[in-house]
Amino acid sequence: MRNDQGAPPAHVQPVPSARRIELLAACYGYALDHGLAGVSLRTLAAAVGSSPRVLLYLFGSKDQLIREVLAHARHRDITQMTAVLETVDPVGEDTYGAAAQRIWEWLSAPEQRAMTRLNYEAFLRSVGHDPGPWAGFATESINDWKDLLLRHLPGVPIDVAQARATRSLALIRGLLLELLADADPVRVTAATQQGW
C-alpha cells in the first residue's frame, strides 16, 4: 500500500537491510567491549568495518545509532532472561523468589560483566542533566525488568507487587555494582540469601 507519492504509508516501518542488522550487532559488540561514552562515529565505523557515511545513511545520526544500540541491548537482555525464567516452576511454593534468584544468577555471572557495565553506563547517563541519546534508558530498563518480575506475582495486589519488584530490582542493581567494583563475589552472593 502506497500513498500518492509512491512512498509507503508513515505507519509502515521499512524492513531493515541485512547490512543494517549486521552493523547494529557489530556496534553492540563494540559497546560491550568499550562502552559508548565519548565514542566518535569515525572510531565506531572503523571498529565495525564500515564508514561514518554508511552509518549515517543507515541510522540517520550518531545519537540515533546509540539509541538503537541501547534498544538492541535491552531487547536482547530481556529476551534471554525471559527464556531463562521459563524454567521457573509455575506451581512452586515461591516462584517469585525463584524468578528473582534466576535473574540475579544470570546477571551476576562473570560472562555478563560487559553487558552489566554497558547497562550501568547507559542507566547513569540517562538520569544525568543532559542525557542526549541515553534519555529514557533507565525508565525503560526499570519497566522491562519490573514487568518480568511482576509475571511471577499473579493475584497479588498491584501496589504490593510493584513495591516488591522495585525492592528486588534495587537490591540486584546494588549488588551488581559491588561485583563491578571487584567486591568479594561470595560475600555479595551471600546477601541474596536474605530473600527477595
Q: Where are the domains of the chain?
A: 64-194
- Give dist(CA 64, CA 58) in Å, integer: 10
Q: What is the maximum alpha-carbon separation in the chain? A: 65
23 contacts: CB under 8 Å, gap ≥ 6: 48, 50, 54, 55, 58
CATH fold label, 64-194: Tetracycline Repressor; domain 2 (1.10.357)
- Give dist(CA 79, CA 85) in Å, integer: 10
Alpha helices in the chain (DSSP H): 18-34, 41-47, 52-59, 62-85, 95-108, 113-126, 137-150, 158-180, 185-190
For the chain, what percent of residues have pLDDT higher than 70?
A: 90
Residue type, 141: S
Predicted local distance difference test score (pLDDT) of residue 16: 76
Cell numbers 527477595: residue = 196
Band (pLDDT 50/70/90 cuts) for residue 10 is low
Virtual torsion, Cα 7, 62, 22, 80, nearest 10 deg: -110
For the chain, what percent of residues have pLDDT higher than 90?
A: 77
* Pick from 95, 103, 196: nearest CA to 155: 95
- Give dist(CA 30, CA 69) in Å, integer: 10
Mean pLDDT, all residues of the chain: 90
Chain segment 80-106, per-residue pLDDT in tens: 999 999 887 665 568 899 999 999 999
- Give dist(CA 64, CA 55) in Å, integer: 10
Predicted local distance difference test score (pLDDT) of residue 94: 81
Residue type, 136: G
Chain segment 147-171, per-residue pLDDT in tens: 999 999 988 999 999 999 999 999 9
Residue 53 has pLDDT above 70, yes or no: yes
Average pLDDT estimate for 174-180: 93
Chain segment 107-161, per-residue pLDDT in tens: 999 999 999 999 999 999 999 999 999 999 999 999 999 999 999 998 899 999 9
